[in-house]
Structure 1
Amino acid sequence: MPAKPRARASVPLPILLFAALATALSVISNQTTILGIDPQGSARLNGESFQQSPLITFASYQYAAFYTSTGIYAINHISLARRQLHGVSASNWDIITFTDYNQTTLDGHNTISLGISPGDGSIHISFDHHDVPLNYRHTSPGAANGSAWSTSVFSPVLHSLPGASDGPYTPLTYPRFEPNPSTGELLFEFRIGQSGNGSSYIYTYNPTLHSWTQTSEYLRGSNNNAYINSLDYLDNKIHATWTWRETPDVVTNHDLCYIYSSDGGKSWRNSAGADIGTFATPYTAGVTVFNIPQNSGILNQEGQTVDQEGRVHVLNRENHGTGEYRWWHYWRSAEGNWTRNAIIVDGLGQATATGFRGKLAAVKGELIAVIPEQVSGEIKVLISTAEGGFKVWKEVWRGDGFAVDPGVDKQRLRMGGNGKWVLSLFARQDGGYPQRKVVVVDLVLAD
């Protein structure tokens, strides 16, 4: 974390650098828009890596979920923002705020996750969790298609999922949604248990019945727990990577693991394609793809994406036996082979043991890493390609004045065309309250 607040930049400016890399993409313009004032307090509630989807695009609208301050210390409200997209431009944000629920826990785990069912256009949010009962709201079908935008289209706060059994719904942490464009379903994933002792569950939303069912307890801890980086769909196949933790202490993180499912999470296979059944444990054969000892610096809930060729990419950090923390890129080829490379770019600062976490995205056959510097307050956007085995990276943009684990709108990035794509970043500015804002940074990429 930065040692002290930094003055924020009003609008980050692109810095274009060049390297020996066969990439056609570059940042040709950028724009920053403000969502709201980041809440005051001792914890960072917006812009945590635990939010898999703080910013998503559905149809012609982009949505953002964030906490806003009430002006009273440690009492915050949930806000949802929506704006209409017009190619690479967008209209102003239309923001609604739920005043019937006070968020009062100053804990960075207690984030908001946002999901939209591609099958029926319903919006779902889950929020304010760290080993507590489920908090969840949803809309009726079609709300994400541009219907009236107000808090009245959402249900009251629910503590169970409509149509599903009685859980388990507590003690719950890290809720996240992932849409399946192939089937129209929406997955809801979360941990039940505690740090160092828990299991991960998946529930599935049926867009025809408009209800949930429990799919699997797919990661089962054994006096430990899994911390996943992400869930990502490609061609009806879902991919998951994670690290295990033995105790609540982050230094007991170890190993990089991977499984995939072709039936929506009901059953799983290891990296070699062998059937492992309905769940993985620390003893399941073939799920560990890199043996990384405890005290090696691998952090929980870093970046993951799957590119158009079916390659799985993970961003994390390790000291790799040297005591010097570096960013590392781990990737699985379409044939199932794993490779690990340090990310080396001129001017890229060292990673730290528990500093800001980065994200990955992919477009047009190119891999994008969004890396927050640990001290300077900069966000750097790097690009690499399969040519050369993702060993060479080029910095295409940097922005100053942030203190955040940036979020990425993967859906909007995939919607690009005509030689232009938009990388939308969910971010939190550095500085003190109330000057510090929650913002969205739009970077237009062109070939």
Structure 2
Amino acid sequence: MLKLLAPLALACAVPAAAQTAEPIDRVWAGHDAAFALVVTDARIYVGYYDAERRLTIASRPRKSSRWRYARLPTRVGWDAHNRIAMALDAQGRLHVAANMHNDPLVYFRTRTPNDLGSFTRVAVMVDRAAERSMTYPEFLKGADGRLIFKYRDGGSGRGREIYNVLDGSEWKRLLDAPLADGEGKRSAYFVGPVVGPDGWFHLTWVWRDTPDAATNHDLSYARSRDLVHWQRSDGTPLALPIRLGDAEIVDPVAVGDGMINNNTVPGFDAAGRVVIAFHKFDGAGNTQVFLARREVTGWRIVPASDWKHFRWEFGGNGSLDFRLRLGTPKVEGDLLVLPVVRDGKPIDLLLDAATLARKGERPGRRLGEIAVPPGMQRNTVEDASGIALAWPSLPPNRDVPRDQVPEPQVLRLIVPD
């Protein structure tokens, strides 16, 4: 049952330089399931699992520190896949989908804008039969501004990518067929779609044959103007659903060659060309970061790192503790900068923006510098406004319960001064 609470009093941490760290609530710290942040000109919305593991939404005006809270009737377990997705529609109603890893639909929305007390649970979005085994919920806005919801239907190794669109107050299928279909043999793990400076939606992914993370292969790409009609980078149309045999392969990385899902990140160079950051093993067996850029004659792939004696050997089932995380490639003057975090250390990989020649690396920026207890990691979610969330948690444990339940930690809102 929905319960609204008054603002919570918490001791405020000392903020890092040029930022304010505002406490929001005490939160579940057993793993790093991703929280959600939505920022508008008027309000801030935060979605998280509270100290009792309940899905919780907090909100306040941009110019006030008075938070309001809604506790929703679902609790997270030990599965770090159970991320939170949240978005506002054109009428200002808040939509939240969460706590799903091969689970039936868990989805709430408000009836009234800015009113957390008006949350209702929606049992069926479009098709109950296709909403029994849902994973990776995500909201995005279409080219026409309508709210879109996508998710994977089915488990790892046998999943289909489904897109719905909000038509007024009702959801319907955006696509007549799934975007991608693993044909019962594999799943596609996507990053994006993201809108580029050219106005196109750009989408990258890997194919994965089983729940074993070592079975990722074949870095792939597609683009679309409207999220309905898709094509390869040369303009060749793609029939839906996209299957491995029809997909545009950017780099045919083989199973076991060091590429992993979620670390295939699209960005754009100074000319607006799409670039994709990913990693794989080099000839010496080290893990290296690479960039693929779409040029006139096709995809050009160059190394972005030159690390010695670093090999991230991963595999098996369940949520992994990522030794390497890739950010979005971005232009900075005459440089193309790729932020990464390697073994907890932020690093910026530097390349010449025009030639993609490696220029070295430098210490990276740390957003939301907060105290982290021993054995825990620092998690962040950043909005395009520069506002962010930061909280500590234990690292993933392959979705297996730990012997001891950790103490709740403080979730903080990071606001640049």
TM-score bracket, shorter-length normalisation: 0.7 to 0.9
RMSD: 3.4
TM-score (norm 1): 0.73
The letter of the residue matching 2:33 is N
The letter of the residue matching 2:81 is H
Match of 1:407 among 381, 387, 397: 381
The letter of the residue matching 2:161 is S
Q: Which moved more, 1:276-285 or 1:395-404?
A: 395-404
- Tell me the equivalent position of 1:20: none
The letter of the residue matching 2:162 is Y
- Tell me the equivalent position of 2:7: none
Distance (Å, rounded) in 2 between the aligned partners of 1:404 and 1:347? 26
Match of 2:88 among 116, 122, 130: 116
Distance (Å, rounded) in 1 between the aligned partners of 2:337 and 2:243? 31
The letter of the residue matching 1:372 is V
Match of 1:39 among 9, 24, 28: 28
Q: Are 1:138 and 2:109 counterparts? A: yes
1:273-284, aligned counterparts within 5 Å? 273-284=235-246
Cα distance change, pair 122–102 in 1 and its aligned pair in 2 (3 A): closer
Cα distance change, pair 253–186 in 1 and its aligned pair in 2 (3 A): same
- Tell me the equivalent position of 1:128: 99
1:42-441, aligned counterparts within 5 Å? 44-47=31-34, 54-70=36-52, 76-85=53-62, 91-92=64-65, 94-99=67-72, 101-117=73-89, 119-140=90-111, 143=113, 147-148=114-115, 150=116, 152-155=117-120, 157-161=121-125, 164-166=126-128, 168-180=130-142, 182-206=143-167, 209-216=168-175, 217-222=178-183, 223-234=185-196, 237-263=200-226, 265-285=227-247, 287-302=248-263, 304-307=265-268, 310-332=272-294, 337-344=298-305, 353=314, 354-356=320-322, 357-360=325-328, 362=330, 369-374=338-343, 377-380=344-347, 386-389=353-356, 391-392=358-359, 393-398=361-366, 399=369, 401=372, 403=377, 406-410=380-384, 412=385, 422=386, 424-430=387-393, 433-434=406-407, 436-441=409-414
The letter of the residue matching 2:150 is E
CA contact (8 A) 2:273 2:293 kept: yes
Distance (Å, rounded) in 2 between the aligned partners of 1:427 and 1:390? 34
Q: Which has the higher contact order (CA 8 A, sep 6+)?
A: 1
TM-score (norm 2): 0.77
Deviation at 1:346, TM superposition (A): 9.6
Cα distance change, pair 82–305 in 1 and its aligned pair in 2 (3 A): farther
CA deviations over 1:394-439 (Å, ceiling 9, x no partner): 44523574625643323x2xxxxxxxxx3x4444325683363333
Deviation at 1:236, TM superposition (A): 5.2
CA deviations over 1:100-132 (Å, ceiling 9, x no partner): x13142111112111222x33222111111111
Distance (Å, rounded) in 1 between the aligned partners of 2:352 and 2:45? 29
Q: 3-state SS of the aligned residue for 1:251? A: helix
- Tell me the equivalent position of 1:17: none
CA contact (8 A) 2:190 2:262 kept: yes
CA deviations over 1:274-301 (Å, ceiling 9, x no partner): 001232101105x111110110111112
CA deviations over 1:168-200 (Å, ceiling 9, x no partner): 1121111111123x4121111111111111111
Deviation at 1:318, TM superposition (A): 1.6
CA contact (8 A) 2:265 2:326 kept: no
Distance (Å, rounded) in 2 between the aligned partners of 1:121 and 1:364? 35
Distance (Å, rounded) in 2 between the aligned partners of 1:38 and 1:331? 40
Cα distance change, pair 227–346 in 1 and its aligned pair in 2 (3 A): closer
Distance (Å, rounded) in 2 between the aligned partners of 1:31 and 1:313? 33
CA contact (8 A) 2:337 2:349 kept: yes
The letter of the residue matching 1:245 is R
The letter of the residue matching 2:353 is A
Structure 2 residue runs of 5 or longer lacking an equivalent are 1-12, 315-319, 395-404
Q: 3-state SS of the aligned residue for 1:437? A: strand
Cα distance change, pair 344–189 in 1 and its aligned pair in 2 (3 A): same
Q: 3-state SS of the aligned residue for 1:239? A: strand
Deviation at 1:387, TM superposition (A): 4.1
CA contact (8 A) 1:178 1:232 kept: no
Q: 3-state SS of the aligned residue for 1:203? A: strand
The letter of the residue matching 2:382 is V
Deviation at 1:214, TM superposition (A): 0.7
Cα distance change, pair 135–305 in 1 and its aligned pair in 2 (3 A): same
Deviation at 1:312, TM superposition (A): 2.9
Structure 1 residue runs of 5 or longer lacking an equivalent are 1-9, 15-28, 71-75, 413-421
Deviation at 1:384, TM superposition (A): 6.3
Cα distance change, pair 306–185 in 1 and its aligned pair in 2 (3 A): farther
Deviation at 1:391, TM superposition (A): 3.8
CA contact (8 A) 1:361 1:408 kept: no
The letter of the residue matching 1:237 is W
Aligned pair count reads 375
Cα distance change, pair 271–106 in 1 and its aligned pair in 2 (3 A): same
CA contact (8 A) 1:372 1:378 kept: yes
Distance (Å, rounded) in 2 between the aligned partners of 1:12 and 1:326? 35
CA contact (8 A) 1:160 1:167 kept: no
The letter of the residue matching 1:96 is Y
